[in-house]
Structure 1
Amino acid sequence: MSRADPQARSLTPSQQAALRHVRAQAILDGPNALAALRERVGKTGAGQAALDEALLSLRDHARVVVQFHPDRLTRAGESVADNLLRDGRYRNQFETGISNGGLSAFEGGERDLWEAGLFGGAYQARRVTAAERPKYGALDFLRYGDGPAPRFGSCYLILRPAIADRCSLTVGDSHRPIAHVGVRDAMEGILLGLVDAVGSGEWDLGRQDLAMPGLAVPSLLDRLSRTLGPILPDPARRPPGRLLDHYIEAKIHGPIDLRTDVDLLVADPCFQGTPTGERLRAACSSYGVAVSGHCGFVLAADSVDGEFRGPAMPALARRIAKDGFIDAAVIGAAAASLNRHPELWRDRGTYEETLQHLKQLWHVLVHKGHPAMAAET
C-alpha cells in the first residue's frame, strides 16, 4: 500500500481480504496474460517497446474516477450532493440505495452474489457493514472530458493517484463473466482484455473522437503512452468519449473522503447556478477539492427516437423536457419527482419501470446529445 494514502492503514479485515483475493488472482494470471499480450500485439505490427510503455503508463498514470448523478436521492431522502456537503464522504450503493446500473445492492441480491464470487466471499463474512462494501468507479485511461464511464453519472470525482493501490479492476462490468482481473501492480490481464476488446472490434473506443476515429490496437497503445501522464488535462478542454458500454471498472476498497482522497470534481455545466451546483461547490470549498467542468450534453426532446434504448424514450423525453430540451438536471428533477411522488407517474407503469426508463434516457442524452459547451482538444 502506498504511504501517500492515509486510508490504506485503516482498511477493515474484509476490505483487506477482498484486495488480497483479487491481487493473488491477478499475479497468478500475470505471466500468461503478458505472454498473450506480446503475441497479440506482435501480430498487429506494434513493437514490444510500445506495449511496455503502454503498460507502464496504465499502471503509473491512469486515475480512478467515480461517476455519479449529484441530484439523485438516497433512501433517506437526501441528494448525493447533500451527503457530500454534510460530511465529505462518498457512499456506496449498499448505503444509499442508489444505483445507476441494476438495483440489486442488498444482502442476497445479484450485486451481493457477484461480489461474493469476485472477492472470495470477503464481504459476506459476519459483521461486515454496508459501509465496508466497495464503491464503484472506472479507470480513466483515455481522459475524455465526460469521464471514463458517463453511463453512471453526469459528474465525477478524480481520485488521488495513491487510491489506485486499494482498487481492483475488471474489463467491463463485473456483473458479466470475468476473464481478467487486475490491481495496480498487476495490470497485464487488464491490458490484455482491453487489447482483445479493441482488436476484435467489440469496443470502438474512437467512435465519437474525431481526433482518433476507429481506435485500433497500435493507436490504442500509442494513445495510452501519449495521453496518460502525471499532469491532469483540463476536462473542459477535452472532447467527450460517450463510452456508455466500454470501460475498465474499478472497485475502490475503503473510504472515499473529499478531504484526503479526491483531487478534482468535474461537473456537468447544467448544474451551474442551481441548488445542486451550489451544494457541490460548497462541499468542494469546505473539504479542499478543486472544481472543473466538462462540455455537458443537451438534446431537443423532439429529436429523441425509439431506436436507441427503446420505444418508451420519445414520450418520456417530451414529458419531462424543459423548454423543449433535456439535460442531466432535467432528468434528475424527474427522478426526484418519481422518488417523492410516485403516484404522479403511475400512468407510465411501475416505479421500477419508470426509474429504468429515466436511466435509459440519460444514456440517450450521452449518446446523441450536443455539447452544451465547446471543448477543445
Structure 2
Amino acid sequence: MRDTTTSPHTGPSPQGRALGHVASLSSGRPVDASLRLTLNFHPDREAAGRPALVALAQDGVYRSQFVTGTSNGGLTAYPGGDRWRWESRIFDGAYDGVPGEQRPVYGALNFRDSTVGAAPRFGSAYFRLTADTLPRATFCYPDSAAEPVDFGVASGMHLIELAEADERDALDDYVEAQIHGPVVLGRHVEALVLDPCYRSTPVEEAARRLPCRTEWHAGFRLTVEQLRRHPGYRGAEFVELGAEIAEDGLLDPRIIGDAARSGRHDPQALKKVWHCLARFGAPPRPTRPHRAQDVGPAGVRGS
C-alpha cells in the first residue's frame, strides 16, 4: 500500500495530520495487536445504484459515505453537514478541503471478540480487517456523533476501559474506529462475515466474487412474539412494522433487506426495525464464527 501519511513535496498528508492530531489527545496502553477492526454494514442494500457487494467487487475498495452517498447511520456527509463537522473537530480540520476519496472509513474495535462484529447497529455483516490496519486507525468513545472528548490511537489509549465501565445500550457499546488511508479488499480484509440467512442467495453469490474469504456467524433471528415484548425500545410503530414484514412470524436481516428494496417502507423506519432485531435477536456471545464452509477468493472453498 502506498504511504499516505507523508509526501516528499507537501509534508504530512491529511491522513498523517489527522493521526498526529488524535495521537496528541491520546493516552494509555497500546492496543492488543490481536484485536481486529470490523466494518459492519448491510450486505443487501444498494450503493450508487448497485448492490453493495457487487459495487465492492467491482471497485475493490471500501469507501466512505462521502463517496457512496449511503450510510447505515445518518446521511450527513457533505460540506457543512454533521459528519463533515464532526470530522473537522476530531481531526483538527485535516480533511476540510480534500475530496471524499481521501477521508477515513468508519468501523469499530472488536475488543469483545463479538462474532457479529463490534458494531452490529450498522449491519448484520462485517469486514474483519488485517492487523496492519490498526496503526493507521484513530478511535473515540462514545460514537463521534455524540461529540466525544476521549480519543485514542493504537499506540496508546484508555477507551476500552471507559467502554467496559459504561452501561450503555448494547447497540451503543462500541469503540468507534476511523481508518485512515484506503481499505483495499484484497489487501486489508481478512474475511467478510455474513448472516446465514444469506446462504444460497445473490448476497452469497456476490461474496464469492470478492478477493477475501467468507465466513458465517450464528445469525440474527427474532420472532414477532419476542419483538412485541419491547415496544418501548424504538417505538410501538416499529414493532408493528416488524410484525407486518415478518415471514412466518420471524424476522431476520434478509427479510428487512427485502422490505428496504421494495420501496414500500420508509428506510429510517426499517432502520429502527433492524435495531430491534440486532438488539434482541443477536446470537449469544462470545463465540467465534465457524469456518466449516468458508469461501475463498472467486468462490474457492476453504478447508
TM-score range, shorter chain: 0.7 to 0.9
- Does 2:200 align with 1:263? no
Secondary structure of 1:8's partner?
Answer: coil
Alignment match, 1:162: 132
Task: Label 1:376 to 1:132 Cα distance change in 2 as closer, same or farther (>3 A).
Answer: closer
- Displacement of 1:150 in angstroms is 0.6
- Give SS of 1:249's match: strand
Partner deviation per Cα, 1:125-181 (whole Å, 9 max, x = no partner): 2xx111111100000111111111111111111111111111100122011132211
Q: What is the match of residue 365 of structure 1?
A: 277
In the alignment, what sits opposite 2:161?
A: 195
Q: Which runs of 4+ in 1 moved over 4 A?
A: 9-12
> Given the superposition, is the C-alpha separation of residues 8 and 143 from structure 1 closer, same or farther in structure 2, using an over 3 Å criterion?
farther
State the partner residue of 1:215.
Answer: none
**Does structure 1 retain, via aligned residues, the 8 Å contact 2:163–2:174?**
no
Q: State the TM-score, normalizing by the size of structure 2.
A: 0.85
Relative to structure 1, is the Cα distance of residues 17 and 376 closer, same or farther in structure 2, using a 3 angstrom cutoff?
A: closer
How many angstroms apart in 2 are the aligned matches of 1:160 and 1:198? 24
**Counterpart position of 1:330:** 255
In the alignment, which of 190, 204, 223 is matched to residue 300 of structure 1? 223
For 1:8, the equivalent position in structure 2 comes to: 3
Instruction: Look up the SS of the partner of 1:308 in the other structure.
Output: helix
* Distance change in 2, residues 1:376/1:80 (3 Å): closer
- Which residue number in structure 1 is paired with residue 267 of structure 2? 355
Tell me: CA distance 1:181–1:84, structure 2 relative to 1, closer, same or farther (3 Å).
same
| Mapped pair 1:102 → 2:74 | yes
Distance 2:283 2:156 in 1: 37
Name the structure with the higher strand share. 2
Q: 1:7 to 1:67 in 2, by over 3 A?
A: farther
> What is the aligned-residue identity percentage?
39
Could you tell me which runs of 5 or more consecutive residues in structure 2 were left unpaired when the two chains were aligned.
8-12, 290-303
CA deviation after TM superposition for structure 1 residue 77, in Å: 1.0
- Secondary structure at 1:244's aligned position in 2? helix
In 1: Cα distance, 2:42 partner to 2:268 partner:
15
* Change beyond 3 A, Cα 1:376–1:112: closer
d(CA) in 2 for partners of 1:196, 1:17: 26
**Shift of the alpha carbon at 1:271?**
0.8
In the alignment, what sits opposite 2:62? 90
**Structure 1 match to 2:298:** none
Change (3 A) 1:7 1:155: farther
What is the total number of aligned residue pairs between the two structures? 281
| Alpha-carbon distance between aligned partners in 1 of 2:162 and 2:183, rounded to the nearest angstrom | 32
Q: 1: distance between equivalents of 2:62 and 2:147?
A: 28
User: Does the CA-based 8 Å contact 2:5-2:16 persist in structure 1?
Assistant: no
TM-score, length of structure 1 as denominator length: 0.69
- Of Structure 1 and Structure 2, which has the larger fraction of its residues in helix? 1
Once the two structures are TM-superposed, the CA of residue 323 in structure 1 deviates from its matched residue by: 2.9
Describe the superposition over 1:215-253 as per-residue Cα deviations: whole angstroms up to 9, x where unpaired.
Answer: xxxxxxxxxxxxxxxxxxxxxxxxxxxx41110000011
Q: Deviations over 1:254-284 (max 9, x none)?
A: 111111111111111111110012101221x
- 1:116–1:148 Cα change, 3 Å: same
How much has 1:24 moved relative to structure 2? 2.1
Structure 2 counterpart of 1:104, which letter? Answer: T
Largest Rg, 1 or 2: 1
Distance 1:376 1:180, change over 3 A: closer
Q: What is the SS of the residue equivalent to 1:330?
A: helix
The Cα of 1:358 is off from its aligned counterpart by 0.9
State the superposition RMSD in angstroms. 2.3
Structure 1 residues 66 and 124, CA gap change in structure 2 (3 angstroms): same
Code of the residue aligned with 2:235 in structure 1: it is G
